[in-house]
Amino acid sequence: MGAAASFPEKLNKEQAQQLCGDQFDEERFDVLAEEGLVDKETIMAYYEGAETAPAEEASVEAPGINPREQAEADAKADMANAESNGVDWKAVHSCVRWNKPLEEVQTIITSPAHANCVDTKNGNYPIHIAAQNGHVELVTWLVNHGAKVNVQNGTGQTPLHMSTSYDYGDVADFLKANGADGEINNWEGNPAKFGIDGDKDPSDPMFLLDSCKTTEQAMAALAALGAKAAEAPGDLDKGAIAMMGMQVKKGNKGLPKEEWTPECQAKFTEVMALL
């Protein structure tokens, strides 16, 4: 594409085809086009990126397109690509949802078009389903076979949003090691590193209490809650804290029941009195 300078800034379909050569995809052009024309810079970002970048980084944000519009455009293009390759997305998503053996999966998912096929109802990709259900081996296999790690579904969730929200740390760690961006926001404005609802902030005392596994961690979480309650009690939900404390005390969270000591109970009572 070294001759790009000879093309106008707005390209019609014929000009785009000449510029992109073998990389030209008519359906993707139609997704990007406005009134039959596409910005040269936009189409070069797509097609040069597809030639040089790994699959998970192939989506390049085009100038003038916000993240939601970008995600929707990518999904439409991936839908079109799957359809043109004869992909049965329902069969693909079913085998991922049920965590079929890899020997069976590889007979169903045979190309990047399969690995990136989209549920037409909710915008989920196979990797969303695998991440949401903690299928770490399947997530690994999908990424190694062309699945995009930062892809967003119909509500803006990335696979990292899902694995973080559902406490699948091994999946989240793998995704981050393979390019997952924790700063990508869903449509509610919550970054992937904090999960779907933004409630997995490791600096949040409620998160600390929810995830504690030892008496020491529980006491540290309760101390943080107490400090926050003393400083800004209106920022805390007394009912939610009472429910969380009950669940942790009963051993229904990560803390073994016997680790909730009388000292923990006394500190918890102190926190509740501040609210």
Tens digits of residue pLDDT in 11-52: 777 777 777 776 777 766 776 677 777 776 666 665 544 433
With tokens 């106008």, the residue in question is: 8
Instruction: Measure the CA dihedral 173/113/121/101, to 10°.
Output: -60
Tens digits of residue pLDDT in 225-252: 999 999 999 989 999 999 999 999 999 9
Strand segments (E) across the chain? 10-11, 38-39
Which CATH homologous superfamily contains domain 87-194? Ankyrin repeat-containing domain (1.25.40.20)
Can you say whether the dihedral through the CA atoms of 101, 104, 105, 111 is positive or negative? positive
- Whole-prediction pTM: 0.65
- Euclidean distance between CA atoms 200 and 188, whole angstroms: 15
* 3-state SS class at 15: helix
Using 50, 70 and 90 to split pLDDT, how confident is the model at 71? Answer: very high
CA–centroid distance for 78 within its chain: 17
- Euclidean distance between CA atoms 246 and 172, whole angstroms: 28
